[in-house]
Amino acid sequence: MKLTEIAKIIGANFDGVDFEIDSMNTLKDAQGNELSFVASSKYVKDIASSNAGAMIVDVKTLEEVPEGCVALVVQNPYWEMAELSKYFAPPIENNTLPSPIIGSNTTISDKAEIANGAIIGENCTVMAHVYIGTDAVVGNNTVLHPSVTVYRDCKIGNDCMIHAGTVIGSDGFGFATNKLGEHKKIYQNGNVIVEDDVEIGSNCTFDRAVFGSTLIKKGVRIDNLVHIGHNCEIGEYSVLVGQSGFAGSTTMGRNTVFGAQSGAAGHLEIAPFNTFAARTGVTKSIKESGLTFAGFPVMGHRSWLKLQGKLARLIK
């Protein structure tokens, strides 16, 4: 879209040199042909180093916008970003693309549906009621059990197994709210990438990223009924046990273990080689490695055991 079109949609004044905006992105990742935004004061520190060609800001952050970047001033940048996101959303399906490409020795059920533009590798098994969306990619030697759904643009690696009912790439839980309490959907225009040698249990849900990718790295093992929010990154060889859940933009290092019904709040960083016992609630970033945690809010496992012992004695 032209910058003049964007300014008109969000009600911002713009009278500079017009140019084409290809997409939207975060302050850190945006390039000169992309539009970014300042959602809250905690992102002000990222403005000066951003390479965005244009930026949606309010009056308070206008002075922070670097020279050469076009500032579009509005009252509520987050709300206007949500409004614009639908204009940059690709079509759910695109029947103008070529027929799907299917690798040799791949078996696909007559009851499966493969959208145009999809690519499936060699020696795969795609069972009944599987749906693979536009421009999705499935690697070699991968098995998709019945009723697995892989949304558009998502990528599944080699040697993976995904069990029945799991959904890869559904929309992340993202919306903006105005002063009246009304909600506006933020279109999730990223994707999900599942790397090689990943096994995913049944009825799991992996949200696609707002921008960029939700990433499940090599060798991860995921139990049934696990939810992974948008823009999360699950480190290599991590283990996520049943009913665990992770809010958006949480990053965990390799060989992290989360027990049943445990989970993490959003925008956290979890160091590698840590273990979280069942029902642990992680509410802060974990910087140290090689430890075991428990409880809500999270604490060292040994401290949690002592606390439980003291509580048990109090009620006798």
Catalytic positions are: 230
Burial code (b: 16+ CB inside 10 Å, e: under 16) for 154-178 equals bbbbbbbebbbbbbbbbebebebee
> How far is 195 from 17, CA to CA, in rounded Å?
42
Residue 202 has which token pair?
A: 């049944």
